């Protein structure tokens, strides 16, 4: 399987604790700046298939807007439940531009959220 780098956002445009959601190459992803470290996840709850980028952030975790499952933002680990962990994507920062390494293939239905955000 091949992957390609995709420019997403300039580092100085992503404020501390802010979520930035986007679609690149068919993949729904979200980025967050946590204590100066960028994290990139698939924007899909592994259980309810909702957009996690629309969930609330509390105590270092994002909460699924459909059923309340919580996922630790530093690791993607499910907290207090038996759901799968979040899918993470490798990223890099080159000259202030955050890029994400995404599969060249289209995401499967199991990797897509069930409805548009909002």
**Domain architecture of the chain: domains with CATH:** 3-111 (2.102.10.10)
With 60 as the cut, is the pLDDT of residue 116 above it? Answer: no
Residue 101 CA to residue 38 CA, distance in Å, equals 14
| Helix residue ranges per DSSP H, the chain | none
The 10 Å CB-count burial string (b at 16+, else e) for 23-49 is eeeebbbbbbbeeeebbbbbbbbbbbb
Taking only the tens place, the pLDDT of each residue in 7-17 is 999 999 999 98
Going by C-alpha positions, the residue among 97, 114, 83 that lies closest to residue 14 is 97
pLDDT, residue 102, reads 97
User: Mean pLDDT, to the nearest integer, of 86-107?
Assistant: 95
pLDDT, residue 88, reads 94
DSSP-derived letter for residue 36 is T
Residue 94 CA to residue 112 CA, distance in Å, equals 28
User: Mean pLDDT, to the nearest integer, of 85-89?
Assistant: 93
Residue 64 CA to residue 77 CA, distance in Å, equals 13
Counting every residue, how long is the chain? 118
pTM of the model: 0.86
Taking only the tens place, the pLDDT of each residue in 29-83 is 999 999 889 999 999 998 888 999 999 999 999 999 988 899 999 999 999 888 8
pLDDT, residue 115, reads 58
pLDDT, residue 33, reads 93
pLDDT band per the 50, 70, 90 thresholds, residue 113: confident
């Amino acid at each position: 399987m091949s992957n390609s780098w995709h420019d997403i956002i300039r580092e100085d445009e992503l404020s501390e604790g802010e979520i930035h959601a986007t679609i690149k190459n068919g993949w729904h992803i979200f980025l967050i700046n946590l204590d100066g470290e960028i994290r990139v996840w698939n924007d899909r709850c592994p259980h309810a298939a909702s957009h996690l980028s629309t969930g609330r952030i509390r105590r270092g975790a994002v909460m699924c807007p459909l059923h309340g499952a919580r996922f630790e933002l530093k690791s993607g680990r499910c907290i207090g439940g038996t759901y799968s962990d979040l899918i993470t994507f490798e990223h890099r920062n080159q000259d202030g531009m955050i890029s994400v390494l995404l599969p060249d293939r289209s995401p499967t239905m199991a990797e897509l959220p069930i409805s548009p955000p909002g």
